[in-house]
Amino acid sequence: MWKLTIIGAGRFGRSLESLLSIPYTIVGKNEKIPISDIYYLTVPDRAIKDFASILPQKSTVIHACGSLSHTILRPHPHTAVLHPIMTFPGPEIGMPSPPIYASICGDKQAIPKAQWLADRLGFSTFHYNGNRARYHCAAVMAGNFGAVLLDMAAAIMASDCELSKKEARQKLLPLMMESIKNYAQEGQTAFTGPVIRKDEHTLSKHRTELLSFSEHFIRTYNSLVESLTQQIKEKN
């Protein structure tokens, strides 16, 4: 069995402790780094290169950043990326439910060790050798922007009733999750609502109500209506 050291005791690093079922060492800030076969860097993106520069050259170095290539770890000869497409808010808040998909890329010698690590973390892997910025942009859009829309929708719902914003989020979340699940499984045939029905009267009423909110609400609404309309046109 390879000796594993995780460098970085932030939210993701601490979450890995709940997933791993093998011996490992986790190193926090200013702690001594032991000799290991595999180093998994879970530090902030800007710190990856600096930490990599102080690690033994004979070891395999893997980082967890979605937007950076494994080549940032050079001149280490054996490098890879293992990036989970999942949110890890920290074990204090909660652990994600499976499946946890993770992308792997790297050199030929490092890939088997990255896969070994992924298997022991319970990640379902796929190989991604494309543009890292586009890949990470997609992950950020899926991981963050849905929450932004949920928050905006909750603010609208809670603005004229006895519900708090938190309560409104709880009421709207099942709708959002079911809609996303249906779209992921069935594509555009799962869409419902006034844009699909071409109900301009209802859309106009929505826009009138949004005038009571800050300008970015109406801009966001119009942009999403336009995007959904374009998707429908492309389908037809």
User: Is 138 found in the same domain as 126?
Assistant: no
The yes-or-no verdict on residue 236 having pLDDT over 80 is: no
Of 148, 165, 187, the last residue of a domain is: 187
Count: domains in the chain: 3
Tokens of 74: 């050079």
Whether residues 144 and 46 share a domain: the answer is no
**116 and 19 both lie in a single domain:** yes
Give the mean pLDDT of 180-202.
Answer: 93
Q: How far apart are CA 44 and CA 107, in angstroms?
A: 22
Mean pLDDT of 123-128: 97
Terminal-to-terminal C-alpha distance of the chain: 55
Give tens-digit pLDDT for 147-189.
999 999 999 999 999 999 999 999 999 999 999 999 999 988 8
Mean pLDDT score of the chain, rounded to an integer? 95
Q: Is the domain of 10 the same as that of 68?
A: yes
Structural domain ending residue among the three candidates 82, 112, 130: 130
Residues 214 and 102 in one domain: no
Give backbone dihedrals phi and psi of 67, rounded to 5 degrees, phi first.
Answer: -95, -10
pLDDT category at 125 given cuts 50, 70, 90 is very high
Angle separating helix axes 165-186 and 146-158, nearest 10 degrees: 140
Q: What is the pLDDT of residues 65-74, one digit of tens each?
A: 999 999 999 9
* 49: Cα within 13 Å, side-chain hemisphere: 6
Pairing of strands 4-7, 25-27: parallel
pLDDT at 52 over 70: yes
Alpha carbons 179 and 183: distance in angstroms, whole number: 6
48 and 81, same domain (yes or no)? yes
Name the E strands within 76-158: 79-84, 100-106, 123-127
Question: Is residue 74 domain-shared with residue 148, that is, in the same domain?
Answer: no
Backbone angles phi, psi at 39, to 5 degrees: -115, 130
Q: Are residues 138 and 103 in the same domain?
A: no
pTM to 2 decimal places: 0.89
What's residue 123's pLDDT? Answer: 97
Last residue of a domain, one of 91, 113, 130: 130
213 and 167 inside one domain:
no
- The answer to whether residues 122 and 28 belong to one domain is yes
Judge whether 2 and 20 are in contact, CB under 8 Å.
Answer: no
One domain for residues 181 and 195: no
Q: What is the CATH number of the domain that holds 98?
A: 3.40.50.720
Q: Which domain holds residue 211?
A: 191-236
Cis preceding-peptide flag for 75 (omega within 30 of 0): yes
The answer on 66 and 36 residing in a single domain is yes
